[in-house]
Amino acid sequence: MGQIQDQVLVIFGASGDLTYRKLIPALFDLFMQDLLPKNFTILGVSRTEFTDATFRDKMNDGIRQFAYFKNPSKEKLSVFDEKLHYLAIETKEASEYVKLQHKLKKIDHDHQTGGNYLFYLSTPPALYGLIPQFLAKYGLNKGHNGFPRLIIEKPFGEDVYSAFQLNKLLLEFFKEEQIYRIDHYLGKETVQNVLVTRFANGIYEPLWNRNYIDRVEITAAESLGVEGRGGYYDHAGALRDMVQNHLLQLVALVAMEPPTEISAGAIRNEKMKVFQSLRPLKEHDLFNSVIRGQYMSSNIRGGHFKGYREEAGVDPMSRTETYVALKFFIDNWRWGGVPFYIRTGKRMPTRVSEIVIHFKPTPHKLFVSNPEFWTMGNQLVLRIHPDEGILLKTGMKVPGAGFEVKTVNMDFHYKDLQETYVPGAYERLLLDGMMGDATLYTRGDGLEAAWCFVQPILDFWKHNPNAPLYGYPAGTWGPDCADKLIGGEKQTWRYPCKNLADDGIYCEL
């Protein structure tokens, strides 16, 4: 890891839930591992009236609940508290930013932070265009003595048009290399391990193509519903909330060509080529290769769960999707003809995210005693969460007479690395932002290309009131017709359990 320069992390929206639950606990965990620079200051900015002391008290409560190092000594917590400062301003008013300019000058003087500023926009999206403009008005985007960087949370636009406009606006005030568009999925260790699995192991790369892979399947399932976010979610939906960003980023990691080096430019260039190779969805595809679903009320384990339309803040006649399944192709030399299947949904049986590589069966089936094995075939499962790890399903002979073939699991679990600390996603991404490493952040052209791919789906649903919306009972794996999307009776989705490797023995949900 390179040397991290002294700096100020300015968090806009510091009174919000993300700062309380994720950002400050992640920063404290970095502090406990001595990964922060010596002269490092955190400045919380929002409209809420806090003093430094009351802001510190609130953040300490978040640390005790959500940090990995939940029980720090009073001495450690006191040292960290000295790094926390607060400024209340009206963030929608340009004239208020002179207060921020003066506050940063004072911090630079008092704490020797060198004029290096990392601005984190943990705010409503309506402020993503305003705050950079106001920072520029007072020269905080120039970096006369140090660097200015800008981290922006998702959602980055609500469609391809707003995403293009936001990118255009940001580039008026900041250069592309100063802008860090965060996707917390890319901060997960198991997501980054996709690159290592592919490019550090000579046994996989020769097989990672259309000659040996039958199909690729990616699932991101949530067991919870909208959890009080009905007002936001009813406007967003699963396609915007999960597919356009998280799932397409996973697709890019699975499908990209080997980069020339492990660097931000090389990796993001290869991911961009994947987005450019996504076969555009035509009208026929929008009818037959996209499944839209919405969860309905059901009784599960003696408890009743509301349907989506019964949730607070949701239109009783809403047609917003809580489930999306999609089949598509990548038109390039490596993946020509290989179908990719992705799905995501709320109120599913368990919370699980994983990538499944389905290998083609052997050309001649010598051992025909177990048709179930030949239906499923060899699978490589890259589990993102929970029970993080890697699973290879392979055929073995059952002891005894004959040649009965049984599927067995060969697996590795991250939890087996008992002496290894696995950092949280925000820890890694914040640390990379401080270092100026954009490898795990989304580049503007890649984000626009991902929006271009999903925009026809949004337009189709908007302009075709008869476009199907399938109901599925809460606690199930989505609409029944999703199985037909992936192949029907002989070929179905992998239905994962919370436990990765014992899925053939018992299934924990």
- Residues facing 467 on adjacent strands: none
Instruction: At 465, list the tokens.
Output: 């009131």
Residue found under tokens 């060198």:
114
DSSP state of 359: E
pLDDT at residue 443 in the model: 93
Burial of 443: CB neighbours in 10 Å, binned 0-12, 13-18, 19+? buried
Nearest partner of 31 among 59, 58, 52, 53, judged by Cα: 59
pLDDT at residue 266 in the model: 94
pLDDT at residue 407 in the model: 73
Examine the pLDDT at 5 and tell me if it is beyond 90: yes
| Most confident stretch, 137-141, 186-190, 360-364 | 137-141
Examine the pLDDT at 315 and tell me if it is beyond 80: yes
Q: Give the HSE-up count for residue 186: Cα atoms under 13 Å, Cβ half-sphere.
A: 27
CA–CA distance, 24 with 302 (Å, rounded to integer): 38
Q: How does the average pLDDT of the chain come out, rounded?
A: 90
Instruction: At 133, list the tokens.
Output: 């403009």
- Quick count: other Cβ atoms within 10 Å of Cβ 300? 15
Instruction: At 92, list the tokens.
Output: 């929608």
Least confident of 182-196, 212-226, 272-286, 331-345: 182-196
Mean pLDDT for the stretch of residues 217-223: 95
DSSP state of 125: G
Residue found under tokens 């408890």:
303
Q: 53 CB contacts (<8 Å, ≥6 apart)?
A: none
Q: What is the pLDDT of residues 33-72, one digit of tens each?
A: 999 999 999 999 999 999 999 999 999 999 999 999 988 8
Under the phi-then-psi rule, with left for phi > 0, alpha for psi from -120 to 50, and beta for the rest, what region is 320? beta
Instruction: At 422, list the tokens.
Output: 């696995």
Q: What is the pLDDT of residues 477-492, one digit of tens each?
A: 999 999 889 876 678 8
pLDDT at residue 165 in the model: 95
Q: Which helix (H) or strand (E) holds 411?
A: strand 405-413
Query: 3-state SS of 412-446?
Result: EEHHHCCCCCCCCHHHHHHHHHHHCCCCCCECHHH
Residue found under tokens 């009965």:
404
Q: What is the pLDDT of residues 378-424, one digit of tens each?
A: 889 999 988 888 888 887 777 766 677 777 778 888 777 767 777 88
Catalytic residue IDs: 246
pLDDT at residue 339 in the model: 96
pTM, whole model, 2 decimals? Answer: 0.91
Using DSSP's 3-state secondary structure scheme, residue 278 falls into strand
- Alpha carbon 361 to chain centroid, angstroms: 32
Q: Which helix (H) or strand (E) holds 168?
A: helix 160-173
Least confident of 109-118, 120-129, 370-379: 370-379
Largest CA distance in the chain: 84
Burial of 95: CB neighbours in 10 Å, binned 0-12, 13-18, 19+? exposed
pLDDT at residue 217 in the model: 96
Q: What's the Cα-to-Cα distance from 22 to each of 26, 36, 180, 414, rounded to whole Å?
A: 6, 17, 17, 22
Mean pLDDT for the stretch of residues 469-475: 94
CA–CA distance, 386 with 497 (Å, rounded to integer): 9
Examine the pLDDT at 18 and tell me if it is beyond 90: yes
Query: What is the percent of the chain where pLDDT is above 90?
Result: 71
Query: What is the sign of the dihedral through the CA atoms of 195, 199, 202 and 203?
Result: positive
Q: What is the pLDDT of residues 76-94, one digit of tens each?
A: 999 999 999 999 999 999 9
CA–CA distance, 214 with 211 (Å, rounded to integer): 8
Examine the pLDDT at 371 and tell me if it is beyond 70: no
Q: What is the pLDDT of residues 141-169, one digit of tens each?
A: 987 788 999 999 988 999 999 999 999 99
Instruction: At 391, list the tokens.
Output: 């699973």
pLDDT at residue 248 in the model: 96
- pLDDT tier for residue 247 given thresholds of 50, 70 and 90: very high
pLDDT at residue 45 in the model: 97
pLDDT at residue 29 in the model: 96
Nearest partner of 121 among 277, 211, 11, 203, judged by Cα: 11
Q: Are 324 and 289 in contact (CB under 8 A)?
A: no
Q: Are 107 and 8 in contact (CB under 8 A)?
A: yes
Q: Give the HSE-up count for residue 401: Cα atoms under 13 Å, Cβ half-sphere.
A: 0
Residue found under tokens 């999206």:
125
- Residues facing 87 on adjacent strands: 45
Q: Give the HSE-up count for residue 215: Cα atoms under 13 Å, Cβ half-sphere.
A: 18
Q: Which helix (H) or strand (E) holds 165?
A: helix 160-173
CA–CA distance, 432 with 156 (Å, rounded to integer): 20
Nearest partner of 45 among 127, 167, 159, judged by Cα: 127
Query: What is the percent of the chain where pLDDT is above 70?
Result: 94
